[in-house]
Structure 1
Amino acid sequence: MPSSVIKYFSYDQANGTLKIIFTTDIVYLYKKVPEKVYKLLKASGSKGRYFNTYIKDKFKFQKLEEE
């Protein structure tokens, strides 16, 4: 999953939460994210562009401690 912005991401289907670890090691948990959004992020050729367009400022989030 090469990306210049996103280091790692995972999805918790039971809770609808998307965890994203950025290359800066800052971790965000996005809430009530539909599974379709996660799958499209996973399939996207540009994770950063997809994130900026379809996730950033679209879902409530919580900043977690750095990994």
Structure 2
Amino acid sequence: MDRVAVESSVLRSVGYDRRARLLELEFLGGRVYEYAAVPARVHCELMAADSHGRYFVRRIRGRYAYRRLS
């Protein structure tokens, strides 16, 4: 999945697979996580948010199953 670089104090890049509903987030420390069953609107709202990090904390973290990618 291709990721798009974002300006954030938390995230480095964001990717989304609409068909599989997978959200891929690369954090500034280099770790990459894949979040499952994420609606397309959540991805759109994340990308449009004034603060990607704040949106992640409020709307994604703790709400979707995830796994760390190697």
TM interval, short-chain normalised: over 0.9
Distance 2:59 2:51 in 1: 12
Distance 2:50 2:17 in 1: 22
Give the superposition deviation at 1:5. 0.5
- After superposition, the CA RMSD in angstroms is 0.5
Q: Which residue number corresponds to residue 53 of structure 2?
A: 48
User: What does residue range 1-67 of structure 1 map to in structure 2 within 5 Å?
Assistant: 1-65=6-70
Higher RCO structure, 1 or 2 (CA under 8 Å, sep 6+): 1
4+ residue segments displaced more than 2 Å: none
Aligned-residue sequence identity (percent) comes to 34
Length-normalised TM-score, structure 1: 0.95
Distance 1:6 1:54 in 2: 14
Which structure 1 residue ranges, 5 or more long, are not aligned?
none
Read off the aligned partner of 1:6 and give its amino acid letter.
L
Distance 1:13 1:28 in 2: 16
Give the superposition deviation at 1:23. 0.3
